[in-house]
Copies of this chain bind each other. A is one copy, B any other.
């Protein structure tokens, strides 16, 4: 069984339920915090005291309040934690449903499990704990399917720059100047046009508006 588990979750209601789920699952020792900064402190202390945590359960979005934080999101927390303790297991418990975001958690941050706050979330939490304990990863089949669907086109860094610029209201004809200033190549207007056309072609879209809507939906911008 897990020896030490840390919960980083700002919502009191979720925090309570996670604790209860851990209890039901048979985890004896767990700590909980409401802020990312506190989580990082606890983890570094635990390492120094020779009793590191096995598992971090964390939310992704943390509300801001009148206690200013250095780390303000779950993804930042995970990155920071992994620098201290690369082998710690990570379970993300979040309301996030955008496929691209979830996909990135596994690929970039190599988390071990993702459970969406939803109908059967506590049941899924326990399944995820079980999976992690058996050195596997966990993602509900429902979410796994939606990730596959959204992976029709792989957005490059360059694509994201273009699409983000458009979504901020930049004129297409002004993008070349912007790219040049940022030393991003290619920066010719034709290349921008060509690339955008290529993306839209690949996704079977005709208009920029459609592309923006899609990217927002899957969470790449």
Pick the contact of A209 from B10, B209, B217 — CB < 8 Å?
Answer: B209
Instruction: Enumerate A97-133 residues with CB–CB distance to B below 8 Å.
Output: 117-123, 125
Query: Within residues 161 to 182 of chain A, which ones have a CB less than 8 A from any CB in chain B?
Result: 166-171
In the bound complex, CA of A215 to CA of B18 (Å): 33
CB distance from A217 to the nearest CB of B (A): 7
On chain A, the number of residues with a Cβ less than 8 Å from chain B's Cβ atoms is 39
| Residues of A that sit less than 8 Å from B by CB | 10-14, 16-18, 20-21, 34, 63, 65, 95, 117-123, 125, 166-171, 205-210, 212-213, 216-217, 221
Known: A13-B21, A212-B216, A213-B216. 16 other contacts (CB 8 A): A11-B121, A12-B120, A13-B14, A13-B18, A13-B117, A14-B117, A16-B16, A65-B119, A166-B207, A167-B209, A167-B210, A169-B210, A170-B207, A171-B207, A208-B208, A209-B212
